[in-house]
A and B are shown apart, each in its own frame.
Chain A
Amino acid sequence: MHEPIVVTGLGCISAAGNNIEAFEECLFSSKVQKTIAPVTLFPLSKGENYLAAEVNGFNKSDHFNKNELKLLDRYAQFAVVSAKEAINNAKLNIAEHDATRISVIHGTSIGGQETIEYSYAQLFEQGNKRTHPFTVPKLLPSAATSQISIRFGIKGPSFSTSSACSSSGHAIAMAVLMLRSNLIDVAVVGGAEACITKGNFIAWDGLRVLSSDTCRPFSLGRSGLVIGEGAGTLVLEREFFAKTRKANILAKISGIGMSSDAHNAVQPLAEGAQQAMQAALNDAKLSCDEIDYINAHGSATSQNDQLESQAINRIFADSSSTPWVSSTKSSHGHVLGAGAAIEAIASILAIQRQEIPPTANFIETDPLCAINLVTEQGVKTEVKKALSNSFAFGGLNVSLIFEKY
């Protein structure tokens, strides 16, 4: 029996809000949100109709000085901003504790994509002979982790995880294992992504999965996913440590489940999703009856939503009650490597509010997605236990279970 691991701090920046308060307000609102719109972060060429869930009203100079910005790609800026909010929210004064027993584990799918494309443009379009000397430390997928560690003086085992759209889910899972093993007392975990760039969108477009109108998870008429940007960070602690320092405990993370489809580079497999959810239930020692809410991966691609529905229905086939399901990607977009962290936060907010956030932009039930989907407006109901799914390209799956504390 391992010591319980608890959540004591949340931080978030996304199209659905630049802090937790704004994010919560947007997520649970029944009003139509204008979080998804044509791309503004790069100029669209004729015939390009790319949509994105961009962070709005973010002025990097409000958060960082000129010298700091030289080393911070947009994705790392988001990571640091969300980490700062989470650490403040946890009222965690790192200087008062053994910093060698505090970790940063932050995931990203791509890392400094903006820096990569800017540097390539300098070299291959503008004829520059070389790029700025900080290009490498700025673009690394581990840069966000390093910058959080440097800024807050966190000296424990720290690293980045990268597993496409499950990156921050794996970050959370790794942190839970390190906390359970008593290697560390606290983990600052999450993920960040900022890849609304021309090159990246052209590449994604080639996969024919980008939406042409908006993000409509599990709905008939859905046309694909909408890429978002932002970051989510959680502060996780061993329960004893949190109680000793009299922290405000927001939730318990009781189950982590991971699996690999071993199937296809882009096509998901229901069995892999099912395996991850079952592993999380086993880890939390829960039966499927006890899950009140599933924050689905729900990417709004035709394939994911059908196969995830199949997997959910297989897991809950023998359950006496059917859990509510929603996909908050309809509000904050598909934030790739940050998605699992942002959706973990959404799941914890659902527990705190005792309310399921809606799946926005829903039109009509897809008979191939026969799940108990919350649409249009949130449902006030008892939410003691929530399961959050993240399924990545390449079949890398993570399911996390959060419980009311």
Chain B
Amino acid sequence: MLKIKQQIHAIIRDYTEASEAEYGQAKSFAELNIDSLSMVEIIFDIEEAFDIKIPDETELDKRGLAINNFNDVLTVVTQLVEKK
């Protein structure tokens, strides 16, 4: 889990000037000044880094998951990596 968190931190660092301490506190990526275009890239980078496929938001919603903020993404990625 810690390793996953660190890896996601490293990816997000390229897209925001916010400090890592703020990642988990922000309710949305917009609060970290990350726009929707950058989110497309972040998701892509995460999928490449972990060799996973993050489902679209409708599918995530069905599973009670989301990718609206850092903690959401951490949960989704952790589940997908564990299932591998």
Contacts and interface: CB of A to CB of B under 8 A. Distances in A.
A134 interface: yes
B54 to A, nearest CB: 12
Contacts of B44: 132-133
A70 interface: yes
Contacts of B43: 133
Contacts, number: 10
A356 to B, nearest CB: 48
Contacts of A67: 38
A134 B40 CA distance: 9
Interface of A is mostly: loop
A70 B41 CA distance: 10
Contacts of A70: 41
Interface residues of B, number: 5
Contacts of B40: 133-134
Contacts of B41: 70, 132-134
Interface in B25-44: 38, 40-41, 43-44
A132 B48 CA distance: 10
A207 to B, nearest CB: 37
Nearest to B14: A66
A151 to B, nearest CB: 15
Nearest to B43: A133
A341 to B, nearest CB: 29
Nearest to A67: B38
A134 B36 CA distance: 12
A146 to B, nearest CB: 13
A132 B43 CA distance: 11
Contacts of A133: 40-41, 43-44
Contacts of A134: 40-41
A132 B45 CA distance: 9
Nearest to B38: A67
Interface in A59-79: 67, 70
A127 B41 CA distance: 20
Interface string A152-169: 000000000000000000
A132 B44 CA distance: 8
A133 B46 CA distance: 12
Nearest to B35: A67
Contacts of B38: 67
A133 B40 CA distance: 7
Nearest to A71: B37
Interface string A113-144: 00000000000000000001110000000000
A253 to B, nearest CB: 37
A143 to B, nearest CB: 14
A67 B35 CA distance: 12
A292 to B, nearest CB: 50
A15 to B, nearest CB: 33
Contacts of A132: 41, 44
A67 B43 CA distance: 16
A34 to B, nearest CB: 40
Nearest to A131: B44
Interface centre among A67, A70, A133, A134 (most CB of B within 10 A): A133
A150 to B, nearest CB: 12
Interface in B7-23: none
A66 to B, nearest CB: 9
Nearest to B15: A67
Given A70-B41, A134-B40, 8 more contacts: A67-B38, A132-B41, A132-B44, A133-B40, A133-B41, A133-B43, A133-B44, A134-B41
Interface of B: 38, 40-41, 43-44
10 contacts: A67-B38, A70-B41, A132-B41, A132-B44, A133-B40, A133-B41, A133-B43, A133-B44, A134-B40, A134-B41
Interface of A: 67, 70, 132-134
Q: Which 5 A-B pairs have the closest CB atoms?
A: A133-B44, A133-B40, A133-B41, A132-B44, A134-B41
